[in-house]
Amino acid sequence: MSVRKTASPNTNAILLMHCPDQPGIIAVVTDFINVNGGNILYLDQHVDKEERIFFMRVEWDLTHFIIPHDKISDYFATLYAQKYAMSFNLYFDNYKPRMAIFVSKMSHCLYDMLARYTAGEWNVEIPLIISNHPDLENVARRFDIPYHVISINKENKEQQEAVELELLRKNKIDFIVLARYMQIISPEFIEKYPNKIINIHHSFLPAFMGAKPYHAAFERGVKLIGATSHYVTTELDAGPIIEQDIVRISHKDSVDTLVYKGQDLEKIVLSRAVEKHIDRKILVYKNKTVVFN
Amino acid sequence: MSVRKTASPNTNAILLMHCPDQPGIIAVVTDFINVNGGNILYLDQHVDKEERIFFMRVEWDLTHFIIPHDKISDYFATLYAQKYAMSFNLYFDNYKPRMAIFVSKMSHCLYDMLARYTAGEWNVEIPLIISNHPDLENVARRFDIPYHVISINKENKEQQEAVELELLRKNKIDFIVLARYMQIISPEFIEKYPNKIINIHHSFLPAFMGAKPYHAAFERGVKLIGATSHYVTTELDAGPIIEQDIVRISHKDSVDTLVYKGQDLEKIVLSRAVEKHIDRKILVYKNKTVVFN
Amino acid sequence: MSVRKTASPNTNAILLMHCPDQPGIIAVVTDFINVNGGNILYLDQHVDKEERIFFMRVEWDLTHFIIPHDKISDYFATLYAQKYAMSFNLYFDNYKPRMAIFVSKMSHCLYDMLARYTAGEWNVEIPLIISNHPDLENVARRFDIPYHVISINKENKEQQEAVELELLRKNKIDFIVLARYMQIISPEFIEKYPNKIINIHHSFLPAFMGAKPYHAAFERGVKLIGATSHYVTTELDAGPIIEQDIVRISHKDSVDTLVYKGQDLEKIVLSRAVEKHIDRKILVYKNKTVVFN
Amino acid sequence: MSVRKTASPNTNAILLMHCPDQPGIIAVVTDFINVNGGNILYLDQHVDKEERIFFMRVEWDLTHFIIPHDKISDYFATLYAQKYAMSFNLYFDNYKPRMAIFVSKMSHCLYDMLARYTAGEWNVEIPLIISNHPDLENVARRFDIPYHVISINKENKEQQEAVELELLRKNKIDFIVLARYMQIISPEFIEKYPNKIINIHHSFLPAFMGAKPYHAAFERGVKLIGATSHYVTTELDAGPIIEQDIVRISHKDSVDTLVYKGQDLEKIVLSRAVEKHIDRKILVYKNKTVVFN
């Protein structure tokens, strides 16, 4: 949840970490924060019993923290990460992550995200929108966000993706949201943004992977349709799932009504996933996510 | 919904039919009932626009119906079914359909159905339970229902299924419910009960078909698990879907907790499907169901 | 569902009616349509057994209908409505109903509706937005819709509502949507738009009527929060309910997160209700709705 | 979730505690467990920011714990509880809590719980069932559980409740489940089992408190019905809510079908709450619950 603090001038630190499970990790980390003057605001932890991995997200107020912000990561790495074989990331909530949106022709997910962004609900910057079609330029213009049309076909894919990557680099983009972007991204591109590209697929994965899931759902005669947001990996529709939801349908529905009903699912499921990502609440391990709330 | 009438001594007729769509079918059928003194209690219809097929379920009170019960089917066939190329079934609600339950080792679906049956919620008779294991005999005994252990392996399958079929015949079984029966039924058996064998599969089909769907769901890292009740066809887990539902899970769940959480889904989804079948509310057409409510 | 037909140049008629239940009504109405050359596209009916009232919605293609459009209502009234004591409304889907939106300071419902409107999903015109605050003028401007600030307090309520009513009259408004409009409308105003003002209340009514329902929900410690769209009547939050939905919460939620999570519910529940209204799928009888799908 | 360990011979300790929030509590408690040789299996914590209360549930393996089981509580009280103003309860999972079920005439909740109990899903003993009606004696007999009919009216209430309390005492009952028990329990009785009587109410509280909630829901025309499990307090239907859920209904439903559809909700919602109680996952504070999962 990304309810923006308006009054508080404080900066918080957010630590996401995982390591082989062993007794005492929580005590060690909370002790590090406490003895250095940090005030823990949230602590969530999870143990994957099968993999024997410990996951934690801890957020603390830095007001009276005695270690300078730019030294915390070093200190933590030196004192603990090596000793406990931790992988960790440290974030500060006074930095707004920078997000690019990729779209094609459907506007519902784009509108939903821009409405939240404009209302100040998300701690994020959206410096640009990229599309392989000009159709949604009018939406971008309504919200005063630069819209780049970069059409892609089999022949020009490599060079056009190079154009996109240059745009992302120039705009210092931290992560990318594919908001019903109907174009497969190359492995080379994906590997530059590992666990940093969020896609919305219009089915309850792993059912109906690939193209035209609503047609496939109609054919199969299912009684529920779904949507799935996930990080993009090089294997199509097979990346770590962040969020899923479904809506009940019936024999009365046609493919058209499935498409239409699915849109509300898609936009809500995608926005929930993007929000979790912005709020640094997702850990990825072996193609699965730990999503704290 | 199968709320049994206790006071009413009246018999109702239920007509399930489908035919190529054309103007005036509703008028023709309702007119037939009205002019012969029937009082329509429920009428549900559906047009499959893609297949151009008209489906209808109509239920009427026979108290003042002037055609004798055993002649209605003949009259309707002669007067309308041929003319409009209708497929139809006629039922009377004073007949209790006879249902056999097949189980293996898990009791949750069995208990859920027997509790409803014993409480008088379902207009059905359950003359026997068949299992490939002795484990649930104690459950059957609690409810005074004969329990037949018919163990099956690759070698004896044909002859053991013959034993089962003979038991079903003797008990005048109308339809079969596989309540987590962990044994694949032969095509020859299935073809004797077309759209009359209801199975519960512990996933949101078509995801995770086949064995161990909870393990597969855990591996994939989905955020929902599901259950699907469907009619059994000769293609495994691919028959017409009657009902589906899901429950939300998270990274905190293990395979064990998925199995456990799934049990509540399975029993409710299966019982809903069985109830719809008992109440003659399901029409099957080309591997899909029309389920009226 | 409001999937707009793009190709079809045909006009459809939609009849919404209710009358005391009696045998043969369906046959009478469908016969009227058939014999005059209409092709029935959808027919939904419902009998309220307790009130003994028959409800029907029937939609038919007028292409070959031999009664002129502007005479259908007269003919139907003369031939049937009187005889069967029917109340009915007749609509043509080539007319776009005209909708006014009232807002205060929160933008989520407004954005959700304008996104659907702009994408052409709804068969409606939105000629104006009225607010008691200037805050959302920027949203209206993004979508090029006139925004009228009409501030209201106890002293000026009567005259300000007169200004509003005049604006609605000039703009030929058919119905009004209160999209989190935080101002109670006078009975005199409401009575001018009977069952034509749709409100969204941020609770699962009848729980938490009145002000600050999320605070009340938090205080009570509920495990679900809800939203309810309903027609506005002179009794506060007590009008006919059109649609409701809920989302699961937990002890981890604060009032702030309830408010935030509730927003997604509110916008979806309100938009579903508005869509049903636009598509002429709602019948109101004795403070309850029949909503066809 | 109450998946019973079959293989493990180990005993676990479960500590439920709350205290005024202050830095370092987690570190203090986990340190206590770690230095004494305990292996933490689960740790869940929650801070109520409004009340400034810290809640925690921690479960650890006692295999190598150096403090004897019967001393842990004393030590913890002496070393920490006083210092941090903690309220706490300590449980051992090798003790099966003893549960009494109170019923009236409806069997669905009773069957659901007994099916789970008989299948070994719950770590609980059910030594007796008490009812104000003889109707469900046959259910109790099926499961070989003593069934006591104690009819209650205005005149005999005090003495009959004395009989019940004596039965509970003799059977060393730890907590009571009201499984659609249609009788109001006296404040004197309730105060003997604070937060130890679980009720199921057939509405989404606080909507439709008191008698006949389905009739009230039907009258109001809601589009969802619900069920709520809660601890019983002396204020009717106003105790701390443990679990709620809803099911979608429509204008097609009658009071009878609401009652029927509600039964599946009631049994699942009640069983979930009972399970959380058995598994020591519920903390109560100021008429609200913290329910860990």
Q: Which amino acid is at B48?
A: D
Among the partner residues C46, C223, C242, nearest to D244 by beta-carbon distance: C223
**D44 is annotated as an active-site residue:** no
Cβ contacts (< 8 Å) between B252 and chain A: which residues? Answer: 46
The residues spanned by each domain of chain D are 2-92, 98-291
Closest CA to C80 of C44, C42, C50, C35: C35
Q: What pLDDT, on the 0 to 100 scale, is given for residue A172?
A: 98
- State mean pLDDT over B43-59: 92
Mean pLDDT of chain C: 94
Q: Are A269 and A243 in contact (CB under 8 A)?
A: yes
What is the 8-class DSSP label of residue B284? E
DSSP3 helix / strand / coil % (chain D, rounded to 5):
35, 30, 40
- State mean pLDDT over C263-271: 98
CB contact under 8 A, D221 and C241: yes
CB contact under 8 A, B118 and D107: yes
Q: Are A225 and A261 in contact (CB under 8 A)?
A: yes
Distance, CA of D274 to CA of D7 (rounded, Å): 24
- Band (pLDDT 50/70/90 cuts) for residue C30 is confident
CB contact under 8 A, A30 and D26: yes
Helical H segments across B171-229, by residue range:
187-192, 213-220
> Given a cut of 90, is residue B43 above it in pLDDT?
no
Cis amide linkage into residue B97, ω under 30° from 0: no
Domain C2-92, CATH class in plain words = alpha beta
Cβ contacts (< 8 Å) between B256 and chain D: which residues? Answer: 1, 3
CB contact under 8 A, A257 and C3: yes
Interface test with A, best of D29, D40, D292 (most A CBs within 10 A): D40
Helical H segments across chain C, by residue range:
25-35, 69-76, 82-84, 108-118, 137-142, 157-170, 187-192, 213-220, 255-278
Count chain B–chain D contacts defined by CB atoms under 8 A: 57
Distance, CA of A24 to CA of A38 (rounded, Å): 19
- A138-152: per-residue pLDDT in tens? 999 999 999 999 999
Dump the DSSP string for B99-120: EEEEE-S--HHHHHHHHHHHTT
Among the partner residues D27, D30, D47, nearest to A34 by beta-carbon distance: D27
The residue of chain C nearest to residue D218, with distances taken between CA atoms, is C288
CB contact under 8 A, B220 and A204: no
Q: Which CATH superfamily is domain A98-291 in?
A: Formyl transferase, N-terminal domain (3.40.50.170)
Q: Are D48 and D55 in contact (CB under 8 A)?
A: yes
Interface test with C, best of A106, A261, A264 (most C CBs within 10 A): A264
Quote the minimal CA–CA distance from C31 to chain B in Å. 6
- In degrees, to the nearest 5, what angle opens at C-alpha A114 toward C-alphas A112 and A116? 70
CB contact under 8 A, B26 and C24: no
- Band (pLDDT 50/70/90 cuts) for residue D3 is very low
Tell me which of C237, C245, C256, C264 is the catalytic residue.
C237
- State mean pLDDT over A227-245: 97
Among the partner residues A3, A111, A252, nearest to C257 by beta-carbon distance: A3
Cβ contacts (< 8 Å) between D200 and chain C: which residues? Answer: none
HSE-CB at A60 with a 13 A cutoff on CA atoms is 26
Interface test with C, best of D204, D257, D290 (most C CBs within 10 A): D204
The residue of chain A nearest to residue C249, with distances taken between CA atoms, is A293
Quote the minimal CA–CA distance from C55 to chain B in Å. 12
What stretch of H or E contains D150?
none
What is the 8-class DSSP label of residue D193? S
Q: Are D168 and D232 in contact (CB under 8 A)?
A: no
Distance, CA of D264 to CA of C123 (rounded, Å): 39
Cβ contacts (< 8 Å) between D289 and chain C: which residues? Answer: 221, 251
Closest CA to B267 of B97, B99, B100, B103: B103
Q: Are D15 and D283 in contact (CB under 8 A)?
A: no
Q: What pLDDT, on the 0 to 100 scale, is given for residue D206?
A: 97
Distance, CA of C225 to CA of B227 (rounded, Å): 26
Which residues are CB-contacts of D41 (< 8 A; sequence separation ≥ 6)?
Answer: D12, D59, D60, D61
> Given a cut of 60, is residue C7 above it in pLDDT?
no
Q: What are residue C129's DSSP bridge partners? A: C101, C147
- Burial, B143: exposed, middle or buried (Cβ in 10 Å; 0-12, 13-18, 19+)? middle
Quote the minimal CA–CA distance from A24 to chain D in Å. 6
Among the partner residues C112, C143, C259, nearest to A142 by beta-carbon distance: C143
**Strand, helix or coil at B264?**
helix
Question: pTM of the entire structure?
Answer: 0.95
> Given a cut of 80, is residue D2 above it in pLDDT?
no
- Band (pLDDT 50/70/90 cuts) for residue C9 is low
Q: Which amino acid is at C118?
A: T
Among the partner residues C246, C251, C287, nearest to D289 by beta-carbon distance: C251
- Band (pLDDT 50/70/90 cuts) for residue C39 is confident
Among the partner residues D107, D261, D293, nearest to B115 by beta-carbon distance: D107
CB contact under 8 A, C49 and D240: no
Please give, one letter per residue, the 3-state secondary structure of A162-174.
HHHHHHHHHCCCC
| % of residues, chain B, pLDDT over 70 | 97
Mean pLDDT of chain A: 94
Query: DSSP E strands: which ranges in chain D?
Result: 12-20, 39-48, 53-61, 87-92, 98-103, 125-131, 147-149, 175-178, 197-201, 224-231, 241-248, 282-285, 288-291
Cβ contacts (< 8 Å) between B26 and chain C: which residues? Answer: 26-27, 30, 40, 43
Q: Are D55 and D290 in contact (CB under 8 A)?
A: yes
For residue A69, give both structure tokens: 């912000």
Q: What pLDDT, on the 0 to 100 scale, is given for residue B27?
A: 82
Closest CA to B280 of B30, B35, B2: B2
Q: Are C275 and C2 in contact (CB under 8 A)?
A: yes
Distance, CA of B247 to CA of C207 (rounded, Å): 25
| % of residues, chain A, pLDDT over 70 | 97
* Number of neighbouring beta carbons within 10 Å of residue C248: 13
What stretch of H or E contains A19?
strand A12-20
> Given a cut of 70, is residue A18 above it in pLDDT?
yes
Q: What pLDDT, on the 0 to 100 scale, is given for residue D221?
A: 97
CB contact under 8 A, D246 and C224: yes
Distance, CA of A268 to CA of A109 (rounded, Å): 8
Count chain A–chain D contacts defined by CB atoms under 8 A: 34
What is the 8-class DSSP label of residue C223? S
Interface test with A, best of D21, D25, D34, D249 (most A CBs within 10 A): D34
User: Cα-Cα-Cα-Cα dihedral of A56, A57, A59, A62, to 10°?
Assistant: 60
- D193-234: per-residue pLDDT in tens? 999 999 999 999 999 999 999 999 999 999 999 999 999 999
Cis amide linkage into residue A206, ω under 30° from 0: yes
Cβ contacts (< 8 Å) between C288 and chain D: which residues? Answer: 221, 251
For residue A159, give both structure tokens: 């060079």
Phi and psi based region of residue D56 (left: phi greater than 0; alpha: psi -120 to 50; beta: remaining): beta
Quote the minimal CA–CA distance from D207 to chain A in Å. 25
Q: How many secondary structure helices (H) and strands (E) does chain A include?
A: 9, 13
Closest CA to A25 of A58, A51, A50: A58
For residue C47, give both structure tokens: 């009998």
- Catalytic machinery residues of A: 237
